[in-house]
Chain A
Amino acid sequence: MLAAARQFKKDASRITADRRHRQIINTALDQYALKRDQKKTLFKDWQEARRIAAATKWEAVNHLDRHLEQLVLGLESRGTKVHWASTGAQACDIILRILKDRNARTVVKSKAMTAEEIHLNEALERAGHAVVESDLGEFIVQLRGEPPYHIVFPAMHLTRSEIQNTFQKKLGDAPSDNPEELTMVARRVLRQTYISADAGITGANFAVADLGMISVTENEGNARLTAALPRTMITLLGIEKVLPRLEDLALFLPMLATVGAGQLISGYNTLYAGPRQPGEPDGPEEYHVVLLDNNRTALLADAEKRDTLHCIRCGSCLNVCPVYRNVGGHSYGTTYCGPIGAVLTPSLKVLNHWKHLAFASSLCGACTEACPVAIDLHHHLLQHRRDASRDNPVWWQKIAFALFAPIANSNTLWALVTKACRLGQKFHPIVLGTKLDPAYVWTRTRNLPPFAPMSFREWWTRRA
C-alpha cells in the first residue's frame, strides 16, 4: 500500500472512533443543513436553478480559451497586470517576484484554497515574508499550524476552548472562551495587520469574462480590507473560475451562499475591476492577477470528467457526505477533501497514489444531489475505480475473480460451493474475532450475515 493510502487508513480509523469529533461535526453540519434547506425554499425552482448554473459553467469551461482571453483583455484595459502560471511553483515564483519588485515584506491574505493548493504560505515564509491569514477560521488554523479542515469552514473541528488555548498560547490574549470575545481578539490583531501590510493576497470565487472582473465572496470583510489598504494587491485564481457574463452572478452569488453556508447571499460580494482608478481616493496602486493551471488543462482534456471543472468550491458535497462526516477533513491528506477532493486529487495528481479516496465512498450519490452545478461526482468516483483497477490491478483481486467466474457460471459448482460455505459457517465461531478468521478484515468491525439455511433452488424443488 502506498504512503498516502496508509496514512488515510490510519487517520480515518482513529477519527471515526472519536465520539467527540463526531459530535462537533454533526452538530455543526446539522445546523447548516437546516438553514440551507430554508434558503433553498426561497428559490422559485431550485432544480431549474441548478440546471441553468450547470449549463452556464458548461459554457464557461467548454470555451475556456475564448473566455480567458476576454477576461485578460478586460483586466488589462484598466491597468491590471495578468500573469500565467502552468504549475504551482511558477505561481509562487511570480508572486515572490512581484513582492520583491515592490519591496513588500509583510503580506495579509484572505482565504484562498488555490493558495493552499500551491503551498504559497510556505513559499512566502521561506523567502522571509511575514504572512497573516485574515479569515478568522484560517487565522485560527494558521496559528495552530494546521491545514484547513473544510473548504468553507476551516476551523469547524475545533471547540471554543481549544481556540481559547491557541489564542492564549500564540497571542497571549484570550479573555474567555466566548466566541464573540475571541472574535474581537482576532479583530484587534488583524486591524493592525491590514493597515501595516505591504501587500494583500486574495483568492477569487468567480472571474467575469465579458467585463474582465474578479468576484470575491466573503462574510467577514477581511477580503475587502485586504483589497483596500495595502499598496499592492494580488489575486490568485484557477483558470476554471470564469463565468461568461456579469449577469451570471445574479444566479451564482445566491446559489453559492445557499449551499455553501445556508445564507441567501454572503455578507460581501465584491467585484474588482482593477487597481485604483483615476479620481479614486484609495485602493492598491498595482493589481496583479495570477492565473493558475496546475493540471487543470489535463482535467479539461479528460472529457469524461471535464465537468469537475464546474466546481465553485462551495463545500456542499462535503457537508452531506457520510464518509467526510465520519473520517473528517484532515484524514484525506489533500488540499481539497470530501467527494470533490476524492475526484479532483487523483486527476490533478497521480491516480495510483490517490485512488484509495475513490474507494472510500459509499457511492450513495448524496454529493451529486447536493452539487449546485450538477457535477456527476459519484460516477466520477466509479470511473476512478475503473481506471485504477485497469492501470494497476491488485493481484489478489485478479485471482479472486478468476476463481469466482467459473463458479458463478456453473450450476453444479455454485450449489456445491454455497453448501460448503453454509457448512463452514457453522464452525466460524471457533475462529471469530481472531486473526485466523479468513473474513477477519470484515468481522473485526462488522457482523457477518448468516447464509440462508437453503437456497431458492432447493426451496423450489422441495415445495412440490
Chain B
Amino acid sequence: MVDETRMSERDNIIARIREALRLPSPHSLHAPDAVLSGRVDQRRVLPAAGSSFENRVDLFAANSADLGATFALLPLPERLSLELKSLRDSQGWKRIASHRGTLTDTVCAALDLPVLLTDAGYEKRELATCDVGITECDALVAQTGSVLVSSRGAGGRALTVLPPHHVVLARRGQLVADLPEALALLRAKYHPNYPSMMSFITGPSRTGDIERILVLGAHGPKKVTVYLV
C-alpha cells in the first residue's frame, strides 16, 4: 500500500515535470555549451590555489590561521608522537577516541591514555565523554583550508564532530590544491562504493547566530589541530 502511493506520486511528479518542460525556457542564453557538456573549467573563476607543495602548505597554513584552527607541518614522522604528547599535557586529556590506522595507531600507542576505538561500534555516551577525537583524513584542501574526512577513512560519522577537540593526522601526499582536485579524488578513490558520509571540515565548529558575533564551538569541536607529516 505504502509503496503503491509512493510510486504513483513519483509518476505524477515526473509527468508534471515533463509536461512543464515542453515549453522551452526563454533563458537559454544562460547555458553555454561548455557547461551543458560538463567541460567547464572552474579553475578559471575559483580562488587561486598553490601550484607547488610549498605554496599549498603556505596557503593551508594561512587559511587555518584565519579560521582559528592550528596547523603544523612536521618534517619527521617521529615528531608526531612528541607533538601529541605535549598537546596531551597542555590540554589535560584524560581519555581519547580514535580509529585504526597507521598514523593513529602509532600516536595512540605513544599517548598512554585510555582509548576508545570506534571501528567496531561504540557507545554514544562514552564517545561524548572523550576529550579529543584523533583521526586520519582523505585529503587537505589548500584553497579553503578544509579537511576532507569520510565515514570510512576517519572512524565513522561522529568521531570527527562529537569530541570537543579534533586532531587530524595527514600525510604529505594528501594535501591537494583545490576543491576540484578534492572532488576528483573522492571519485577516483571510491567510485562506485562511496562511504555513506564525506565531509569537508573547515575550521572549528562556529556560529554567528547571536548578534552576528563569531563564537567557536557551537555544536562540534571547539578546536581543530591539523598535523601534516
Contacts and interface: CB of A to CB of B under 8 A. Distances in A.
Q: Do A and B bind each other?
A: yes
A81 B35 CA distance: 31
A52 B193 CA distance: 29
Contacts, number: 308
Interface in A225-259: 225, 227-229, 239, 244-247, 249-251, 253-254
B207 A220 contact: yes
A186 B215 CA distance: 12
Interface string A131-149: 0001111001000000000
A183 to B, nearest CB: 4
Given A59-B36, A220-B219, A225-B162, A45 B44 contact: yes
A432 interface: no
A272 B212 contact: no
Interface string B143-176: 0101000011001111011100000000000000
B17 A65 contact: yes
Given A86-B13, A179-B211, A219-B207, A283 B197 contact: yes
A282 B26 contact: no
Contact of A274 (B47, B119, B183, B196): B196
Contacts of A179: 210-211, 213, 215
A222 interface: yes
Nearest to B198: A271
Interface stretch (A152-160, A323-331, A390-398): A152-160
A179 B214 CA distance: 8
Interface string B200-218: 1111111111111101011
Contact of B27 (A183, A190, A213, A307): A307
Nearest to B33: A55
A90 interface: yes
Contacts of A154: 209
Chain B contact residues, majority secondary structure: loop
Interface residues of B, number: 90
A283 B30 CA distance: 40
B205 A195 contact: no
Nearest to B22: A301
Shortest beta-carbon contacts, A-B, top 7: A221-B220, A228-B157, A220-B218, A301-B20, A137-B209, A250-B179, A297-B16
Given A158-B210, A264-B63, 18 more contacts: A43-B46, A65-B14, A85-B9, A86-B12, A86-B13, A153-B212, A158-B211, A160-B211, A220-B207, A225-B162, A247-B38, A247-B184, A249-B183, A273-B194, A273-B198, A277-B196, A282-B121, A376-B27
